[in-house]
Structure 1
Amino acid sequence: MGIRWNSPLIQVLAVGFICFCCPGIFNALSSIGGGGQIDSDVDENANSALYACFSIFGLFAGAIHNKLGPKWTILIGSLAYPLYAGSLLAYNHTKLGAFTIAAGAILGAGAGLLWTAQGAMMMAYPHEEDKGKYIGYFWAIFNMGAVLGSVIAFGLNFHEPQGNLSDVTYGVFIGLMVCGSLTALSLARPHNVVHNNGDHIRIQPYPKWSREILAILKLFLDWRMLALTPMFLSSNWFYSYQFSVVNGAYFNNRTAALNNILYWGCQIFGSWSFARILDKKGITRRKRALIGLSIVAVAFIATWIGGIFFQLTFMTKPKVRQDFADMKGSYIGPLILYMLYGANDAAWQTYCYWLMGTLSNDATVLSRYAGYYKGVQSAGAAVAWRLNGVGTAYMTQLIICFALLVASLPGALFFALRVKDHSGDDDSSEAVHESKMELESKSS
C-alpha cells in the first residue's frame, strides 16, 4: 500500500515531529539551566507552576482527548510552547517574572493535553508486537528536537560563554515551535487510521463526560496503576537536579548547551536500543518485562552512585561556572555521567510506556493511562522544581532522586510478573458495555 498519511506509523512519526518542534526544543531550552538566564529563580518558579498545572490537566486530559480527538487536543496543547519561550525572551528585556510564571502555568495545561494525546497514539496505534518499536521511533524523533535546539544554542552563543541566550536563539526556538504546532492540523482522525493489513485502530467512545471522569477516577483504585505510581512519580523528578544543578549550576551556558547535544543524543540511543529488547521476538512478554526491569535497575543504580561521587566535588554553586575549554581532561568524567543520565531517562520512560501498552490496545483506554502517567509524573516534577527553587542542598536533591528510583522497583517488579502475552480486553469490554447501556437508556 506504500506510504499513506493515515497509516499508524506515519501518524506516530508526525506526532514525533510535533514534539520535535515543541517539547523537544523546550527540553533544549530548559536543560541549559534557568531557561538560559543567569538568575534561574524565575525559571524554577515557572517550572513549579508548569508541572503543578501539568499534573492536574494531565490527569483529566484523557477525557478531553477522547472528546476532541488527537488533532485539536495536540494543537491546543502545542500552542502553549511558543508562548512560554516568548515569555523568556520578554524576561531578558523586562526582568518581570510574573509573565514567565503565568506562561509556565499555561504551558503546564497545554503539555498535559499534548502528552496525553501523544501517549495514547504511541501505545494504541501499533500492533502488539511493534509497541516498543513505535515508542523508540517517537522518542528518537522527539529528542532530535532537543539535540537540534542544543546545537543552535551552542552555535549562537559560542562566543558568549557566560551570558544569557541571545534574542536570535529565542526567536529561532519560537519559530520552530509554531511550525510544529500547526503540523497538528494535518493529523488524521483515529477512525481513519488503518494498518496495511486493513486493521483499524480500536476506539471505544464514551458518550458522556461523566463516564469519562468516572473512568479516570477509577484509575486510583486500579492495582496496576497503583503498582506503577512510584515509577511514574520518579520519572521526571530528577530533571530539576540534572538540569539546574549538574548542568545549570556547574557549567556555563556554552558548555551546558554542548552537554545537552550529547545528553539528548543519548536519549535517542537509549530509547531505540532498549525498545528493540522490549520487542524481541521468541521471548514471552513477561520475560521481556523482567529483562527490561533488570537493565534499567542496574543502569540507574550504577549511574546514580557515580553521580554521588561527582556531587561530592561541589556542594554549592561554583563562583565561576565551568567551561569545557578550561577544564580540559577533567571535563570527560562529568560529561560521560551526564550522557548516562540521558540514556537512563530514555530507557526508564520507554519502559513505563511499554508496560502501560501491555494493558490494552484501545486508544480510549490508553489515553486515560497516559493521562494518569503524565499527571503523576508532573506532580513529582512540580515538587522537585520547588525543592530546587527554595535552595535545597544539592546532595539532598540527589539522594531524594536516587531513593525514589529505588523505591519504584518493587511495584514495577510486581507489575512485570503479571504481564500477559496479549493485552487484556477488560477495560475495553467495560467501555463497550457502558456505552451500550448508556445508548440503550437514551433510546428508551
Structure 2
Amino acid sequence: MMMQQPQVEVEGQSSSPAPAKPGLLRFNSPLAQVCLIGLVCFCLPGMYNALNGLGGGGQVDHTAADNANTALYACFAVFGVLGGAIHNLLGPRTTLFLGSLTYPLYVAAFLNYNHRPGSQVFPVIAGALLGVGAGFLWAAQGAIMTSYPPPNLRGTYISLFWCLFSLGSVLGGLLPLSLNYRRGSKVASVNDGTYIAFMAMMLVGVALTLLFLPPHKIVRDDGSRATGVTYSSAATEAGEVLRLFANWKMLLVLVPAWGSNFFYTYQFNNVNGLLFTLRTKGLNNVVYWGAQMLGSVGLGYLLDFGFASRRKRGLVGVAVFAVLGTAIWGGGFANQLRYTDGKWPDLIDFKDGRRYAGPFLLYCSYGLLDAMFQSLIYWIIGALTNDSRVLSRYAGFYKGVQSAGAAVSWQVDFHKTPLMAQLIVNWGLITVSYPLLALLVFLAVKDDEDSSVSSIEDGKHNRS
C-alpha cells in the first residue's frame, strides 16, 4: 500500500505566524512535550541506568549482564540507525509506546535470574528486545529534543530534559540503597524488591508515552510550528538512512558517537561495581546522576547564552569539555594504577571517611563529564538543521553508532580485558572526539541569523 508523501512546511517560509498563547500549562508547546519526554526517560532509561550502574545489573557475577547488554547494544546499533526512519513513519506516540514495553521486560529477566541463575537465556533475549525498543525510544527522543525547541533555547531545553532524565537515575539509585541498606557492607546481589520497584516505575513510563501529540500539532510561543511533517514513506526513509553513511557531517560524529557510551561498562562494572560495597554503589549512583544534572545545566547555559555567535558558543563548549575531560580521565588513570591487577579485596564503604572521598569524587566527576558530552553532541546535531525529519535521522544515526560502541565495550569487559587497557581506550576515544567536534562546529554550525536559510535549504533537499 502506498503511503501519501509528507507535507512539509519549512521554517522560515511561513508568513507572519500568529503568536500562540504562552503559558506553562499549554500542552501543545515544545516545553510541555520536552518535559513529557523527560518524564518518560525518568521512568524508563533512567531506571535502567540506575540498575546498570550497580554493576552487573545488580548481580555479583557480571557475566549475565555483560551478555545481556552485548545483545542489547548490538540490536540497538541496528535499530538506533533505523529508529529515525521508524519515527518518521509512525510518529512519536506509537514509536515511544512500542519501545517502552521492552524496559520492564528486561528487569523481569533479572528478577527471574535471581531465582534461576543457571540460565542466561531470558536475560539475553530480553536484552536483545530492549535494544530494539531503545532504538525506537531514543530516536523519537532525539527528534523531539532537536526539532521542537526554539533554536535560541535548544541548549536550555536539552539541559531541562537531561535533568529530568538524570533525576530518574538519582531516585533509581535510592531504591537499591534503601532496600539493601540493612545488608550492611557484605557483597550480594540486589533483592527481589529492588527489581519489582524498578519494574513498577517503568510501567508508569509506558503509560506516559500515550500522552504525546503528533509533531504537526506542536506550536511555539511565537506561533511557528515545530515541524510541518506529518508522515513519510518507507522508500524515502530507506534511501535517506543509507545516505547518512556518506554524509560528511555524520562521519565527523562517528568517533564521538562510538565513544559516548563506551565508557559506561568500565565505569559501572570496574569502578563502582568493583571498588565499593553494595549499599555504597547505590549511594554513588545517586550522586553520579545528580552530577549529570549539574553538568548538563552548566553546559546548556553556556551554549545558549554565553556569546552572541552560535558557532563561537559551540567552540567554547567543546574547549570546556576538553579541559574537564582531560583532567577527569587523568584522575581516573591515577586511580586505576592502584589496582592494575583488577582486584580490590577490601571494599570501600561510605562510612570509611577519607578512604572513600577520592574514589567517590572521581566517580561523580565521570557522571558530570558524561552529561556534558552527550548534551554537547545533541546541541551540535540540533544546530546542523531545523528540519525535523533530517534531525530524527541524525539522532538515530548517533544512537545507533553509540550503541555499536557500547556492544563492543560489554564484550571487552566479558573477555576480562585488563582494566588499564580499558581506561586508555576510553580516554583515547574521548580525546580524539575533541578536534572532530570542534571541526564540525566550525564547518557546519551556522550563526543564529543564518538558521532560517539552513532550514530552507534542508526543505528543498527533502522535496527533491
TM-score by length of 2: 0.91
Aligned: 1:428 with 2:459: yes
> What's the C-alpha RMSD, in Å, of the aligned pairs?
1.3
Structure-1 residue corresponding to 2:95: 73
Q: List alignment gaps of at least 5 residues for structure 2.
A: 1-20
Structure-1 residue corresponding to 2:169: 146
Aligned: 1:407 with 2:432: yes
Structure-1 residue corresponding to 2:308: 283
SS of equivalent residue, structure 2 residue 381: helix
- Equivalent AA in structure 2 for residue 428 of structure 1: G
Return the offset for 1:326: 5.7
8 Å contact kept, 1:249–1:321? no
Structure-1 residue corresponding to 2:321: 296
Query: Any idea what the Cα deviations from partners look like across 1:171-226, whole Å, max 9, x if unmatched?
Result: 11000001111100011111111112221122345642111011111111111111
| Residues 1:39 and 1:239: Cα distance change in structure 2 (over 3 Å) | same
Query: Any idea what the Cα deviations from partners look like across 1:234-275, whole Å, max 9, x if unmatched?
Result: 100100000010011121221111111110000000001110
Structure-2 residue corresponding to 1:115: 138
8 Å contact kept, 2:67–2:410? yes
Q: Quick one: which of 38, 49, 56 aligns to 2:60?
A: 38
SS of equivalent residue, structure 2 residue 339: coil
State the distance in 1 between where 2:429 and 2:306 align.
32
State the distance in 2 between where 1:321 and 1:111 align.
37
Aligned: 1:48 with 2:70: yes
8 Å contact kept, 1:201–1:362? no
SS of equivalent residue, structure 1 residue 417: helix
| Residues 1:427 and 1:102: Cα distance change in structure 2 (over 3 Å) | same
8 Å contact kept, 2:109–2:126? yes
Structure-1 residue corresponding to 2:370: 345
- Equivalent AA in structure 2 for residue 150 of structure 1: G
Greater shift after overlay, 194-203 or 70-79? 194-203
Aligned: 1:102 with 2:133: no
State the distance in 2 between where 1:151 and 1:10 align.
27
Structure-2 residue corresponding to 1:234: 259
| Residues 1:321 and 1:85: Cα distance change in structure 2 (over 3 Å) | farther
State the distance in 2 between where 1:148 and 1:226 align.
37
Structure-1 residue corresponding to 2:33: 11
8 Å contact kept, 2:87–2:140? yes
Query: Any idea what the Cα deviations from partners look like across 1:64-90, whole Å, max 9, x if unmatched?
Result: 100110001011111111000110100
State the distance in 2 between where 1:327 and 1:389 align.
30
Return the offset for 1:325: 4.4
State the distance in 2 between where 1:397 and 1:17 align.
33
Return the offset for 1:321: 5.7
8 Å contact kept, 2:311–2:442? yes
8 Å contact kept, 1:25–1:146? yes
Return the offset for 1:157: 0.6
Matching of residues 21-420 of structure 1 within 5 Å:
21-95=43-117, 96-160=119-183, 161=185, 162-204=187-229, 207-280=232-305, 282-318=307-343, 320=345, 322-325=347-350, 327-418=352-443, 419-420=445-446
Return the offset for 1:330: 1.2
- The number of residue pairs the alignment matches comes to 433
Greater shift after overlay, 56-65 or 201-210? 201-210
State the distance in 2 between where 1:243 and 1:302 align.
20
SS of equivalent residue, structure 1 residue 378: helix
| Residues 1:116 and 1:325: Cα distance change in structure 2 (over 3 Å) | closer
Query: Any idea what the Cα deviations from partners look like across 1:284-320, whole Å, max 9, x if unmatched?
Result: 0110011000001111111001101100111234364
